């Protein structure tokens, strides 16, 4: 039977591996000493700065995850072109807006993933995340009309739906569908 310490190390192994990869990339050398040094540095970071464990009750759905990634990259390209146009066009920049979006999930992990994916797409930026109530506040670069504000809200909700479809539990998927009547 595995000890509690052994389970703790195994659950944090992906973080140690990720930190080791970052270490190797920063050094630009894949030698054994660099990898060993990175693993030791990662373990030291994990011991000195322990992160609280994150609970995840969902399950990974590969098809939905592929859709999430593909849609994210498509949104990234489209939004980058739109923001570039706003930056170079001869007229004044549009009026921005701050919006409040009520999300369906209360999972801190899914809320964080949703908020990060929204913020990584140019034109929107997370201002605040209230995980207890499932609310995010976003700054929209172009909030010049009510339709654009609603489009920004709809995009945030659609992003959450894709995250829940890829990583959420069955109950979260049901709650997401019920909150806005079956959004994508």
pLDDT of 184: 44
Question: What is the rounded distance in angstroms from the CA atom of residue 60 to the CA atom of residue 167?
Answer: 5
| pLDDT the model gives residue 7 | 58
Beginning with the edge strand found earlier in the chain, give each strand of the sheet holding 135-140 in spatial order.
Answer: 97-102, 135-140, 124-130
pLDDT in tens, 28-67: 888 999 999 999 999 888 888 877 777 788 889 999 999 9
- Give the model's pLDDT for residue 61: 94
- Phi then psi for 126, rounded to 5 degrees? -70, 130
Which pLDDT score is estimated for 183? 47
Domain ranges in the chain?
Answer: 4-48, 62-180
Percent of the chain with pLDDT over 90: 61
Parts of the chain with a pLDDT under 50? 1, 182-184
Q: Give dist(CA 138, CA 150) in Å, integer.
A: 12
């Amino acid at each position: 039977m595995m000890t509690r310490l052994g389970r703790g190390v195994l659950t944090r192994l992906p973080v140690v591996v990720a930190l080791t990869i970052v270490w190797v990339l920063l050094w630009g050398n894949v030698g054994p000493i660099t990898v060993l040094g990175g693993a030791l540095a990662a373990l030291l970071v994990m011991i000195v700065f322990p992160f609280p464990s994150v609970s995840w009750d969902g399950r990974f759905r590969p098809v939905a995850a592929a859709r999430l990634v593909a849609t994210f990259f498509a949104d990234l390209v489209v939004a980058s072109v739109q923001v570039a146009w706003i930056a170079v066009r001869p007229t004044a920049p549009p009026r921005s807006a701050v919006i409040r979006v009520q999300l369906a999930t209360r999972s801190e992990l899914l809320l964080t993933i949703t908020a990060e994916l929204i913020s990584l797409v140019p034109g929107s930026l997370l201002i605040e995340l209230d995980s207890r109530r499932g609310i995010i506040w976003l700054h929209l670069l172009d909030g010049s009309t009510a339709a654009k504000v609603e489009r920004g809200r709809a995009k945030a909700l659609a992003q959450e739906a894709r995250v829940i479809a890829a990583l959420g539990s069955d109950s979260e998927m049901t709650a997401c569908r019920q909150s806005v009547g079956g959004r994508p």
